[in-house]
Amino acid sequence: MSPSTLSPIAFPDVALPESACRLRAEVRAFLDDEHARGTVLGRPDSWLAGWDPGFSRRLAERGWVGMALPTEYGGAGRGFLERYVVIEELLAAGAPVSAHWVSDRQAGPSVLRYGTEEQRRFFLPRIAAGQCFFSIGMSEKSSGSDLASVATHAERAADGWRLTGTKMWTGGAHVNDYAIVLARTDDAEDKHAGLSQFIVDLRAPGVRVEPIRLMSGEHRFNAFHLEGVYVPDGMLLGQRGDGWKQVTGELAFERSGPERYLSTFPLLLSLLRELEQRSATAEQLTRLGILTARLHGIRRLSLGVAAALDAGASPDVQAALVKDLGTRLEGTLIDTVRSVLPTPADPHATPGSHPELLAFALLHSPGYTLRGGTNEILRGIITRGLEQH
C-alpha cells in the first residue's frame, strides 16, 4: 500500500535506506565526541529541556538540522527517514536539541509548504544553519485541547496586521527568535474557519513573555502576550483563513516523531547499566522484555508516518495514534523502572546518576500525555478518522 493511499490506521512497511546505517554510525561518533566535551548528559526529555544553541549549530555544520529541506534553501535534501535516524540517536543519547527542535521539526516544513518564496529564502537557510529558532503559538488559557476556539485576534492595519491575545505553554519564547502564531482574522459561524497563521518576531514591540515554571522550577514554558503587535503582510504564513488546515497538517510532524516514545529512554539505559552491576532476576528480565517489545512496536508505527511524510502524504490520524501509544509508554517506562529496581528518586543526587535521572523523569512526566494534544483529544481524532472511512 502506498503512503499516499493510507487508510486511517494503516502504516506502510518501512525499510530504512542503506545510507541510514552509515549515517547512524556518523551520528554515534559525533555524540561520543560531544559526550567527552560534556555537552551530552544523557538526560530524559532532552528535546524540551536541553537548550544549547552551540550544540545545534555543530549539528547544522554536519547537515543534520533541516535535513529534509531542499538544498536550494540550505537544507540537506535527505528526506524524513534519514532525518529520523539522526533524531532517534540524539534522543536516545539525551542530547540537548531543544534550541532547534521546533524549527527543524515543524516550522521549517510549514514555511516550505505554505510560505512565500521570500519567506523560504529568508527563513529556511537560517533554520538549516542553526541560526534561527522558532516557538509554537497555538494553545491559550481556555483553548488548549479545543484549539479552534482561540481568542487571539488579528486586525488589519496599514500593510499588515495587529495581533492581540495571549498564548500559553509557549516553549522557548524567552530565548527563541520567532513564533508561528494561530490567530482569528475573520468572524465565522464555523469556529474552524477564519483562522490564519503569522510569523511573529519575538523581540517586536508589544511582545511580552511571562515565565511559567515547571514543578522542578525549570523555566521552559511561557505565557506569550501579544499587545497590539504589528506583523507586516509579508509575515502572514499561507493563505488568510487557511490556518486550521495548516495547523492540522503541521501537527502530523509534531505528534509522530521519536520524541513521542523516547523522552524517557535514557532512564531505561540507566536501569540497564544498574542491572549490569547485579544479577537480574527472570522476572526483571521478563518485564524489561515486554517494555522493549512495546517500544519496538511503536517505533515501527512512527517510522511508517515518517515514510508517509516522505511520500508527501498528510497522515494526521496515524500521527495521533503514534502519540497516544508513545506517550503512554513513556509513563509506563517510568513505572516499570521503579518497580524493577526500587530506588528513591533524588533530584539532588549526582548528576547523571540513576536516582537523579529518575527524579528528572518523574517531574517531567505529567506533561507527556498533555503536550501536542491530550490523549483524549487524539482518540477523538482517531475515531473520527475511522468513521469517515
pLDDT of 2 reads 39
What are 248-263's pLDDT values in tens digits? 877 767 777 888 889 8
CB 34 within 8 A of CB 28: no
What are 340-358's pLDDT values in tens digits? 999 899 999 998 899 999 9
User: Residue 382 is which amino acid?
Assistant: I
Provide mean pLDDT across the span 91-113: 95
| CA–CA distance, 226 with 222 (Å, rounded to integer) | 12
Q: Which long-range contacts (CB under 8 A, 24 or more apart) does 345-351 make?
A: 347/216, 351/41
By percentage, how much of the chain surpasses pLDDT 90?
A: 56
Handedness of CA 166, 167, 169, 173 (dihedral sign): negative
pLDDT of 310 reads 78
pLDDT at 6 over 70: no
pLDDT of 278 reads 84
By percentage, how much of the chain surpasses pLDDT 70?
A: 95
pLDDT of 10 reads 56
pLDDT at 3 over 70: no
Predicted TM-score of the model (pTM): 0.88
pLDDT of 11 reads 53
Of the segments 240-254, 264-278, 369-383, which one has the largest average pLDDT value?
A: 264-278
pLDDT of 389 reads 64
- Kindly state the cell numbers that stand for 110: 510549514
- In the residue annotation, 254 being an active-site residue is answered as yes
Give the max Cα distance, the chain. 72
| CA–CA distance, 64 with 78 (Å, rounded to integer) | 10
Confidence of residue 21 (pLDDT cuts 50, 70, 90): confident
51-60, 163-172, 319-328: range with lowest mean pLDDT: 319-328
Catalytic residue among 88, 89, 250, 254: 254
